[in-house]
Structure 1
């Protein structure tokens, strides 16, 4: 059975293969609460999944859940749009261009028309004008971890991580996926393309897997 080596390097957008998070994700948080499950340097590619329904963000490093926080998304009439976004701009001290010069500390822009992550009031329910408000201390630590281009996915409900695989790879019958840190568990057998889930953050496949020595 052929095997494909994955290098978890950068965001790319295609089909999705769900991956189980290594840490239990149902951790109770009060409004404005957060929890870091790992401290220090991030070893895997960083990305975030934000659930409007659950008013929560999960921060992942590769397939590991490293941070959880409550959020406040857009209120009725200013709903936060779902979708996949790279961080476009970062400013530690920023003020809103749209809403009375309101402070937006640790701002991380997702769209050029006004949607961003930033520290702000977090009542445990949607209350913003579309931005995603984070607990202040969490926003500060997250700001230090992210870079321009870090992927952020806003979903209606889902918070679990996912690994996205290019359709060309899925078209190789019977292939299995082996990541470079796969010693923690067995390889995954790829399901058929029609079983894939759309709309999850994806990690890029290293082009080196298509070299002749790996494609036997």
Structure 2
């Protein structure tokens, strides 16, 4: 019994360490520059882990609450945003964070919104932008708009034609976890503050466990 409790403590500490590293990366200071990216018609503002304010170009607002659902949050790779994706489980736990890249300026910007995944394909070549060498360039595709925007395997150091690039070490786990109809929240807002709060809670749990054992 004692050995089992010690194993739980070790696993919790490992998870906390993982989150510390990713929070530090998510909070890296970015150079302030004049953005070349076009203004989005819709603004998505994270209010909590599961709640998002959606405001259209006319100023109309609504609150989208994804409590009880699993979903993905993407803060795009533009000035003032994070360049990160977060996986949130049904219980509201942020269990995964990784680096991403999103659409390039000049008309390829990834659109803000709350979208359902409508199609998953393990192997895929872009019809609009096929690779010159014939190698698939959209493997682990998780399509979330009818215009072709998707989460997929890609170079996280290069901007895309509008899709979300996920690195090789993360994309397979994401692909297995995401289902069709899983929501994808695309925002220019920040989400790392909720990961910070979750990390603090983990650390407090560890301290409480240590005091009681």
Name the TM-score, length of structure 2 as normaliser.
0.54
Shift of 1:27: 3.5
Could you give the per-residue CA deviations for residues 119-140 of structure 1, whole angstroms, max 9, x where no partner exists?
10111xx610000000112111
Root-mean-square deviation (CA), in Å? 2.3
Gap regions ≥5 residues in structure 2:
1-18, 27-67, 195-204, 206-213
Q: How does 1:59-138 map to 2 (within 5 A)?
A: 59-61=87-89, 62-77=91-106, 78-101=108-131, 103-123=137-157, 127-138=159-170
Q: Which moved more, 1:141-150 or 1:99-108?
A: 99-108
CA distance in structure 2 between the aligned counterparts of 1:120 and 1:151, rounded to whole angstroms: 20
Whether contact under 8 Å (2:143, 2:149) holds in the other structure is yes
Shift of 1:45: 3.3
Higher RCO (C-alpha 8 Å, min separation 6): 1
CA distance in structure 2 between the aligned counterparts of 1:143 and 1:117, rounded to whole angstroms: 9
1:14 maps to none
Shift of 1:149: 0.2
Gap regions ≥5 residues in structure 1:
1-22, 30-43, 163-183, 185-216
Shift of 1:159: 1.9
Whether contact under 8 Å (2:23, 2:192) holds in the other structure is no
Whether contact under 8 Å (1:46, 1:59) holds in the other structure is yes
Name the TM-score, length of structure 1 as normaliser.
0.53
Q: 4+ residue runs of structure 1 moved beyond 6 angstroms?
A: none
Shift of 1:79: 0.4
Higher helix share: 2
